């Protein structure tokens, strides 16, 4: 049954009552997980007249929010303080308050284990925390990126341990997050929201909730389809980035500038979509989501060679960059990586944000230091490297100041993240060697540094 056929079914009286509560803004919303996905969602709900309770296990984070302070760079503290002062938003670590809300939106992390398998620990823990507090008439919506079947096969059985039945007593849906930190064109409100649920009541309730805060929704036939949509979006990007990363290595050997090739190819008005190479993949989605599908595909004995190959290529890119740096040091200065001083520009995984989840810059630091280099970094958005799951040995490291004197102290500057607010002219004039992984504006004739695209 497709989404259109499902919506021809009649919504129950209970479902209609929940929809009416949403449309009247009498419904109270709970958002579990107040990070890069959850906090923007809180703002959207509050702006549309809902009262929101935020849930998180991190007490310092909760205390900051209740004090009206933001810990995410692209969300001003004033936005949070206004909501707190108006008593539209409060956050808590007390999950007993789950019973107060009518809609529970779950936005918790879904990382990979060290063996590149899905880690659903946060989803399971959150579901188990909700279960004893779940009440009749509530809807639970999972937004965390995950493999198809998670909502039905993992979340639903845990929640039904409450004695309540999904589709009859409470409602369950899935709507993948599409947050893009720092994107000023496609915001959380303007980006269409995919909604899937198993049952017409859950579908209509979830759609009503998101339609009230998002410009447009895209309804699909069930939760598994919605889960697959999210993975497909990011696998598409992972595969295409892997393609241009591989082309970069090939074309470099041929003496061809891959950036020039891509720019020229992008002039074709059909049949081509430009993707750009880099030092590796970062962010919570693209490096992780494809492996959620490869893991699930094993259950069906289906190979995923194309997806896995893309992952191998993208994972290899930091090694390629280190190799290019090593070659350049040796070629131009007869110097090895061991003992060299390297400055990395950019720790965030993408430009102009303070988000460093899965950033290839962290891998670059570790590999360069393992080779004997002395490494520092500069990032205007990340003054100190915070705790990370896989690179905690780097936590507490501080950004240097970017000045002529500082740049001159290094044997090479490696551009890993192309933040806008960086004085690249200063770098090009004062650095000895620049390894540019982002094709970042070294086109002027005034560059004194040796520029190597990598």
What is the spatial distance between Cα 217 and Cα 174, in angstroms, rounded to a whole number?
13
- Domain membership flag for residue 60: yes
H-assigned helices in 48-97? 59-66, 77-85
pLDDT at 38: 96
Does pLDDT of 445 surpass 60? no
166-191 pLDDT per residue, tens: 999 999 999 999 988 878 888 889 99
Q: Report pTM.
A: 0.92
In angstroms, what CA-CA distances link 311 with 89, 112, 148, 277, 417?
A: 40, 13, 19, 14, 20
- The two counts, helices (H) then strands (E), for the chain are 16, 13
- Average pLDDT, stretch 65-89? 94
285 annotated active-site: yes
Residue 8's pLDDT band (cuts 50, 70, 90):
confident
- Domain membership flag for residue 367: yes
Helix (H) or strand (E) holding 112: none
User: Does one domain contain both 184 and 263?
Assistant: no
* Secondary structure (3-state) at 267: coil
Q: What is the DSSP string of 388-439?
A: -SS-GGGTT-BPPP--HHHHHT-SEEEE-S--SSS-HHHHHHH-SEEEESS-
User: Does one domain contain both 210 and 306?
Assistant: no
Parallel/antiparallel/unpaired status of strands 171-174 and 193-197: antiparallel
Q: Which domain holds residue 269?
A: 256-453
CA nearest to 370, candidates 346, 393, 347: 393
- Give the sign of the dihedral formed by CA 61, CA 66, CA 70, CA 72: positive
DSSP state of 136: T
Widest Cα–Cα separation across the chain? 78
User: Does one domain contain both 415 and 269?
Assistant: yes
Residue 197's pLDDT band (cuts 50, 70, 90):
very high
User: Does one domain contain both 263 and 227?
Assistant: no
What is the spatial distance between Cα 341 and Cα 358, in angstroms, rounded to a whole number?
24
Q: What is the CATH number of the domain that holds 271?
A: 3.40.50.720
Residue 326's pLDDT band (cuts 50, 70, 90):
very high
* Secondary structure (3-state) at 138: coil
- For 305, phi and psi rounded to 5 degrees? -60, -40
- Domain membership flag for residue 58: yes
pLDDT at 435: 95
User: Does one domain contain both 186 and 286?
Assistant: no
CA nearest to 55, candidates 126, 124, 155, 134: 126
- Average pLDDT, stretch 279-304? 93
- Domain membership flag for residue 210: yes
Structure tokens at 124: 């399971």
What is the spatial distance between Cα 318 and Cα 134, in angstroms, rounded to a whole number?
46
- Domain membership flag for residue 212: yes
Burial 67-88 (b: 16+ CB within 10 A, else e): ebebbbbbbeeebbbebbeeeb
User: Does one domain contain both 215 and 273?
Assistant: no
User: Does one domain contain both 266 and 337?
Assistant: yes
Hunting for tokens 């107040």 — which residue is that? Answer: 34
DSSP state of 11: P
On whether the CB atoms of residues 278 and 245 are closer than 8 A, the answer is yes
Domain end among 181, 214, 231? 231
- Average pLDDT, stretch 405-429? 94
Does pLDDT of 6 surpass 80? no
- Domain membership flag for residue 35: yes
What is the spatial distance between Cα 148 and Cα 159, in angstroms, rounded to a whole number?
18
Q: What residues contact residue 41 under an 8 Å CB cut-off, 6+ apart? A: 31, 105, 107, 143, 177, 188
Q: How far is CA 84 from the centre of its chain?
A: 26
CA nearest to 311, candidates 333, 289, 296, 284: 289
Question: Among 285, 307, 362, 363, which one carries the catalytic annotation?
Answer: 285
Q: How many domains does the chain have?
A: 2
Q: How far is CA 86 from the centre of its chain?
A: 30
Q: For the chain, what percent of residues have pLDDT higher than 70? A: 99
pLDDT at 446: 66
H-assigned helices in 67-140? 77-85, 121-130
User: Does one domain contain both 276 and 199?
Assistant: no
- Give the sign of the dihedral formed by CA 228, CA 219, CA 150, CA 91: positive
Hunting for tokens 């899937």 — which residue is that? Answer: 196
Of the ranges 33-47, 157-171, 245-259, 276-290, which one carries the lowest mean pLDDT score?
276-290
Structure tokens at 141: 């919506």
Of the ranges 8-22, 98-112, 137-151, which one carries the lowest mean pLDDT score?
8-22
What is the spatial distance between Cα 256 and Cα 225, in angstroms, rounded to a whole number?
42
User: Does one domain contain both 336 and 421?
Assistant: yes
Q: Is 339 left (phi over 0), alpha (psi -120 to 50) or beta?
A: left
pLDDT at 283: 87
- Domain membership flag for residue 251: no
User: Does one domain contain both 193 and 342?
Assistant: no
- The C-alpha torsion from 141 through 143 and 149 to 155, rounded to 10°, is -50
Q: How far is CA 276 from the centre of its chain?
A: 18
User: Does one domain contain both 224 and 347?
Assistant: no
Mean pLDDT for the chain overall: 94
Q: How far is CA 226 from the centre of its chain?
A: 17
- For 321, phi and psi rounded to 5 degrees? -65, -45
Higher pLDDT, 346 or 11: 346
Q: What residues contact residue 358 under an 8 Å CB cut-off, 6+ apart? A: 281, 282, 283, 284, 287, 288, 349
Does pLDDT of 357 surpass 80? yes
Residue 441's pLDDT band (cuts 50, 70, 90):
low
- Domain membership flag for residue 248: no
């Amino acid at each position: 049954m497709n989404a259109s056929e499902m919506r021809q079914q009649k919504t129950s009286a209970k479902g209609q009552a929940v929809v009416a509560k949403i449309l009247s803004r009498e419904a109270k919303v709970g958002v579990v997980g107040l990070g890069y996905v959850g906090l923007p969602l809180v703002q959207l709900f509050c702006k549309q007249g809902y009262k929101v309770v935020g849930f998180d296990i991190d007490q310092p984070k909760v205390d900051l929010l209740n004090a009206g302070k933001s810990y995410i760079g692209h969300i001003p503290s004033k936005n949070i303080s206004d909501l707190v002062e108006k008593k539209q938003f409060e956050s808590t670590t007390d999950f007993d308050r789950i019973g107060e809300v009518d809609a529970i939106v779950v936005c918790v992390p879904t990382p990979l284990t060290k063996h590149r398998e899905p880690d659903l620990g946060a989803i399971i823990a959150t579901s188990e925390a909700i279960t004893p507090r779940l009440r009749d008439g509530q809807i639970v919506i999972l937004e965390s990126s995950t493999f198809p079947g998670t909502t039905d096969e993992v979340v639903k059985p845990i929640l039904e341990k409450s004695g309540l039945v999904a589709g009859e007593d409470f409602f369950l849906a899935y709507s993948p997050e599409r947050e893009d930190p720092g994107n000023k064109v496609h915001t959380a409100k303007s980006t269409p929201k995919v909604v899937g649920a198993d049952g017409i009541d859950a579908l209509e309730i979830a759609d009503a909730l998101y339609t009230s805060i998002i410009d447009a929704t895209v309804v699909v036939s069930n939760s598994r389809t919605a889960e697959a949509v999210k993975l497909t979006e990011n696998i598409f990007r992972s595969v295409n980035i892997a393609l241009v990363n591989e082309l970069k290595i090939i074309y470099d050997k041929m003496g061809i500038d891959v950036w020039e090739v891509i720019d020229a190819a992008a002039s074709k008005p059909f049949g081509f979509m430009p993707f750009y190479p880099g030092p590796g993949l970062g962010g919570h989605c693209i490096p992780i989501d494809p492996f959620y599908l490869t893991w699930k595909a094993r259950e069906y004995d289906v190979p995923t060679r194309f997806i896995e190959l893309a992952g191998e290529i993208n994972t290899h890119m930091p090694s390629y960059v280190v190799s290019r740096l090593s070659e350049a040091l040796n070629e131009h200065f007869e110097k090895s990586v061991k003992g060299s001083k390297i400055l990395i520009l950019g720790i965030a995984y993408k430009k102009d944000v303070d988000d460093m989840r899965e950033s290839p810059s962290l891998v670059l630091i570790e590999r360069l230091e393992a080779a004997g280099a002395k490494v520092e970094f500069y990032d205007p958005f990340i003054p100190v490297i915070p705790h990370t799951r896989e690179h905690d040995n780097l936590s507490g490291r501080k950004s240097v100041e970017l000045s002529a004197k500082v740049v001159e102290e290094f044997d090479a500057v490696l551009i890993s993240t192309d933040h806008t607010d960086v004085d690249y002219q200063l770098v090009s004039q004062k650095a000895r060697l620049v390894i540019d992984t982002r094709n970042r504006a070294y086109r002027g004739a005034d560059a004194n540094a040796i520029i190597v695209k990598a």
